[in-house]
Amino acid sequence: MCGVALAGIMAGTAHQPADAGVDNAETTTVAAGHRPDACVPAIDARLADPSRSALLPEGGDVSPGQAAEYERQLREALRPLRGQEVEPTRVVPVVVHVISASDGRGNVGDWQIRRQIDVLNRAYRGGYAFGDEGADTGFRFRLREINRTVNDGWFRDFNSQRDRIRERLHRGGADTLNLYTTRLDSGLLGYSTFPQDQKSKPKRDGVVISYDTLPGGDRHRFNEGHTATHEVGHWLGLFHTFQNGCDEPGDYVDDTPYEREAASGCPRGRDTCRKAPGEDPITNFMNYSEDACMTHFTRDQGKRMVDHWRAFRSGANEEAEQEGPDPRLAAVAGGGPSVDVRTTVTPDGTVEVRASVE
């Protein structure tokens, strides 16, 4: 992978649409002086306090070079798809992995998970926006499976074991959202992989969020479910609105104003790039603002997510694994809207699986 996305990105100035000038992608997408860090997987994350960047996990925060390399890969992948019809609505199956401690910490309720799915659907259809500030992205989310794992070591220190854990638990192919809830370091709300890295590391693809950020959780100012909203935006290819600061090409989205740095709280009216048009996109889901401040994605962010879906996720299951729920649960899973899979992993590696259909 080239990176992992932590929740939040700065907005930049206007740029070429992803499918424009694609034939010149190799020579136009890498900014002068930036060498793509192609050998380092990137993630993008969300922090409760933007000043605490030391909390970012390894690979966190996308460099200008990594962003340019992702853009080059996107343009290259879109080239053979020109002229193809785009489906109006994309339904994303979601597998939620709840990783908790033996004393019950982190064992979020089914009601919280279902409310989280409701928050995603409302956010991605534009249901939190005021007036014409936001757009319906065309993405919808359907809960397919809940997988519960009780493991004190995993819960206590997920980040240092994240690759091994995800490779063990991951379900589905490129079009399946694997959402992991667990304990993360104080101040780190969540992080996500990017679509460009799915093919090389399919079992590590997905979103990780702190369990207390789900709707009704205990994370003050960040417990309305928008950490997942933000991280899924990365999973669908978006950068932070503050990517590249006030410098071109910003976040590679035309209709999000440039922004020098991540927002904290809800500083409406802030303008950190005065030479560029528009105030900072404080209420955009791809910023670092607190949950109650976030309201929308823009129309061009929606288009960019669709481009990434077409390039890296739509139809990718034809080449990827299609495992679905645990094979031992096939008889139970048939016909039900979702499966509640309860998995206990003991220190010696023994796995106990129990399932029920709702």
Instruction: Tell which wins on pLDDT, 196 or 83.
Output: 196
The whole-angstrom separation of Cα 142 and Cα 204 is: 21
* pLDDT at site 56: 62
Helix, strand and coil content of the chain, in percent to the nearest 5, comes to: 30, 20, 50
Q: What is the CATH number of the domain that holds 334?
A: 3.40.390.10
Residue 190 in contact with residue 209, Cβ under 8 Å? yes
Q: Which of 224, 231, 259, 290 is catalytic?
A: 231
Instruction: Tell which wins on pLDDT, 222 or 31.
Output: 222
Which residues are bridge partners to 339 per DSSP?
145, 357
Predicted confidence (pLDDT) per residue in 151-172, tens digit: 999 999 999 999 999 999 999 9
pTM here is: 0.81
Range of weakest confidence among 187-196, 247-256, 336-345: 336-345
Give me the helix-helix angle, 110-124 and 226-235, nearest 10°: 60
Band (349; pLDDT cuts 50, 70, 90): low
Residue 298 in contact with residue 135, Cβ under 8 Å? yes
Instruction: Tell which wins on pLDDT, 52 or 108.
Output: 108
Band (350; pLDDT cuts 50, 70, 90): very low
The whole-angstrom separation of Cα 231 and Cα 210 is: 11
Predicted confidence (pLDDT) per residue in 196-237, tens digit: 999 999 999 999 999 999 999 999 999 999 999 999 999 999
Residue given tokens 């998970």 in the structure block: 113
Whether 328 has a pLDDT exceeding 50, the answer reads: no
Band (44; pLDDT cuts 50, 70, 90): confident
Vertex 224: Cα angle to 308 and 148 (nearest 5): 75
Range of weakest confidence among 97-111, 283-297, 329-343: 329-343
Beta strands in the chain (DSSP E): 4-6, 43-47, 90-100, 139-150, 177-182, 188-193, 207-210, 339-345, 351-357
Host domain of residue 317? 4-82+90-357
**Polymer length in residues for the chain:** 358
Instruction: Tell which wins on pLDDT, 45 or 268.
Output: 268
Count of structural domains within the chain: 1
Query: Is 231 among the catalytic positions?
Result: yes
Range of weakest confidence among 116-130, 245-259, 326-340: 326-340
Radius of gyration of the chain (CA): 19
Indicate the average pLDDT of the chain.
Answer: 81
Is the peptide bond between 249 and the residue preceding it cis, with omega within 30 degrees of 0?
yes
* pLDDT at site 95: 98
* pLDDT at site 205: 98
Range of weakest confidence among 26-40, 83-97, 161-175, 304-318: 26-40
